[in-house]
Amino acid sequence: MKDFNDKVAVVTGGASGIGRALVKALLQEGARVVVADVEQKALDRVMAEFEALGDITGVVADVSDADSVNSLADHVFEHYGRCHLLFNNAGVAAPSANIWETTPNDWKWVHGVNVLGVVHGIQAFVPRMIASGEPGYVINTSSGDGGISALPYQSVYASSKAAVSCLTECLAAQLQSQDTVLGASVFYPSGGLLETGIWTTDRNRPGNLAREKPTAPVPSIDDFKKAAAAAGMELSFQDLDELAQYCLQGIREQRFVIMIGLEDAAHTLQQRAERIGRGELPIDEAEVPQM
């Protein structure tokens, strides 16, 4: 897919962060964009901010709920009759902890959004996209944390993103082997630190999935910046608009893996493979910070 003009695109988690940047980039390319997000106020802000850029509609949707995602698909196909680009982008994270100190609700919430959210998107949209006979693409947002190499103290989040990478690989192979006109890519947000809502995802955590035991306050991005400055560290942040444009270019080039700095990821994976080949722990223990 080389041209996004007049194409219908759906972006989950589209009201903030990377999703918002993708929505903006798609509108600038002439796409018709459906923004799906669990936050009504954030959705309203994005709609007001971008309405002058083109055809944009907003739908409140909880990707962890299959019925909600099916309703989203109903809206898209009733309104537009087709979908060319599906960005399964919504994601959340749990506090850093040893696995034995995480809680069942940490796993239910994060995997419900990050993994089942992608599955629900595929199940609701892909059959209709295949039936339409029009070329299309599914882009699933993963993370280098899990998709490439796990941060040990982010086991809940990292394992969810590893699952997204795996299921996207399966999806792409299935779409290809069955001669559909659809493709799939895994998108790894990259290029530096990302100033997104992932730092404050607890704002959307449902009460019925609250943590069963207290945890230390999760540092904000501002706290992280201050701590880094105090330690004399210089942080490198990736511009989200540039990242979104990079993602769209990856779709144009039909890259399965869309990631800035892919050469570094390949080196990391090679080192992990060598450790696995020796029967060793793939994570370098020297790189594991002490909690």
- If one compares 213 and 28, the residue with the highest pLDDT of the two is 28
Chain mean pLDDT for the chain: 93
Spatial distance between the Cα atoms of 214 and 28, rounded to a whole number of angstroms: 44
d(CA 27, CA 280): 47
Whether residue 173 is predicted with pLDDT greater than 80 in this model: the reply is yes
Q: Where are the domains of the chain?
A: 8-261
In this prediction, residues 269-285 reach a mean pLDDT of 92
Confidence of residue 234 (pLDDT cuts 50, 70, 90): confident
Over range 172-199, report the average pLDDT.
93
Which one has a higher pLDDT value, 203 or 174? 174
Determine the pLDDT at residue 287: 60
Would you say residue 267 has pLDDT above 60? yes
Query: Within its chain, how far is the Cα of 201 from the centroid?
Result: 13
Question: Is 80 a residue of the active site?
Answer: no
Answer yes or no: are the C-beta atoms of 135 and 73 closer than 8 Å. no
Mean pLDDT of the region 252-262: 97
pLDDT at 217: 67
Sequence-ordered list of residues with C-beta below 8 angstroms from that of 218, at least 6 positions apart, any chain: 95, 199, 200, 202
| Spatial distance between the Cα atoms of 116 and 163, rounded to a whole number of angstroms | 10
pLDDT tens figures, 99-150: 999 999 999 999 999 999 999 999 999 999 999 999 999 999 999 999 999 9
* CA dist 157 → 60, 163, 188 (Å): 24, 10, 14
Q: Per-residue pLDDT averaged across 178-195, rounded?
A: 94
Catalytic position from the list 153, 157, 188, 246: 157
**Can you give the pTM of this predicted structure?**
0.93
Q: What is the pLDDT of residue 236?
A: 81
Phi-psi region of 205 (alpha: psi -120 to 50; beta: other; left: phi over 0): beta
- The answer on pLDDT for 289 being more than 60 is no
Q: Give pLDDT, residue 249.
A: 98
- pLDDT of 170 reads 98
**What angle in degrees, to the nearest 10, is found between the helix axes of 116-132 and 104-114?**
20
* Residue 186, SS3 per DSSP: strand
Q: What percent of the chain has pLDDT over 70?
A: 95
**Structural tokens at position 48:** 């007001």
Residue 55's φ and ψ, nearest 5 degrees, are: -80, 105
Mean of the pLDDT values across residues 243-251? 98
Alpha carbon distances (Å) from 166 to 34, 115, 163: 26, 10, 5
Provide the residue type at 263 as one letter. E
* Residue 34: per-residue pLDDT: 98
The arithmetic mean of pLDDT across residues 39-68, rounded, is 97
Domain 8-261 bears CATH identifier 3.40.50.720: yes
63 three-class SS: coil
- CA pseudo-torsion sign 238, 240, 241, 245: positive
Which region among 200-204, 259-263, 268-272 has the lowest average model confidence (pLDDT)? Answer: 200-204
